[in-house]
Amino acid sequence: MGDYIVLAISCILINNILLAQYLGNCPFLGTSKKMETAVGMAMAVVFVLVLAGVITWIVNTFILQRFGLEYLRTLSFILVIAALVQFVEMFLKKSIPALYAGLGIFLPLITTNCAVMGVCLINVNEEYTFLQALVTSFSYAVGFGLALILFAGVRERILLARVPKPLQDTSIALVTAGILSLTFFAFKGMV
């Protein structure tokens, strides 16, 4: 049990997918202008990432490894994740329309997100067990959400600040992201 907690903490804080590994940058900059969008995006990522982590683990263990075709990982993962997201979208629309309305456009947007892809590959590279893969996928997603929401909060404040012309908008956002990631470095060495 303790192991899983350590694993979760390291995924959320220490190896934060956004701020420590710098994966999934486009939605990080694109959907962090407004708190509302950031929250929606974070939820969608949790949802998709958990499903993708699980399914790619299964594909890897039961198909690729069995036939010794590990080099096809990236290709097959893309295919599987894309189909999965489409499937989930249809399923939600029919069965849980309320959830569908909430996650709205965010679902298709993260189909081929590098954070999703990255986590799936990490799971496989680290040779996690099924349960471990489940925990890491969930935790990485939570870490993504945490960073995104923190960042959106900061960006909303920045709107009120006096930013020198050449640094406005995306430039200042990147600088901010850098500082935010420095603060996450403080977690390094915790476990």
Partner 1 sequence: MIEAILVMFGIGAACGLTLSVASKVFYVYEDPRIAEVEWHMAGANCGGCGYAGCSAAAVAVVEGKAPPSACVITDTESAINIAAIMGVDPGSAEALISSNTCLGGNRADDKYHYMGVNSCQALDAFYGGKRVCSIGCLGLGDCIKACNFDAIAIGPNGYPVVDENKCVGCGACEKVCPKNILTVRTMSQRLLHFNEEDDALAPCRQTCPAEIDIPLYISQIKDGDYEGAVHTIRERNPLLLSCGRVCPHPCESYCRRSIEDEPVSINQLKRFVADLEMNSGKRLPIPCAPDTGKRIAVVGGGPAGLSCAYFLRRLGHEVTIYEAMPEMGGIIRYGIPEYRLPQKVLAWEIEGILNLGIEHHTNMRLGVDFDLDSLITKGFDAIFLGVGAWNDYNLKIEGEDLKGSFKGIDFLSRVASGEKVPIGRRAAVIGGGNSAIDCVRTLVRLGAKEVYIVYRRTRKEMPANEVEIVAAEHEGIKFHFLAAPVSVVGDDNGNVTHLEYLKMELGEPDASGRRRPVTIEGSETLMEIDMLITAIGQTPDVSFTQKERRLEDLEITRWKTIDNNPETLQSSIPYIFTGGDSATGPSLVVTAIGGGRRAAASIHQYLSGEPVEPPEKSLFQKHIKESIFDSVDGVKKTPRAEMPELEVKERIKSMDEVDLVLDEKDAIYESKRCLSCCRLCYNRDEIAQSN
Among 6, 26, 63, 179, binds partner 1 (CB under 8 A): 63
**Interaction between residue 98 and partner 1 (CB under 8 A):** no
Closer of 94 and 166 to partner 1 (Cβ): 94
Whole-number Å distance between alpha carbons of 179 and 157: 15
What DSSP string describes 93-115?
HHH-HHHHHHHTTHHHHTTT-HH
Contact 88, 48 (CB under 8 A): yes
Tokens linked to 44: 């969608």
**Interaction between residue 1 and partner 1 (CB under 8 A):** no
| Residue showing tokens 């590279």 | 125
Among 3, 104, 127, 183, binds partner 1 (CB under 8 A): 104
Contact 43, 145 (CB under 8 A): yes
- Minimum CB–partner distance for residue 188 and partner 1 (Å): 35
**Interaction between residue 37 and partner 1 (CB under 8 A):** yes
Give the footprint of partner 1 on this chain (CB under 8 A): 37, 40, 59, 63-64, 67, 69, 72, 75-76, 79-80, 82-83, 86-87, 90-91, 93-95, 104-106, 109, 159-162, 168
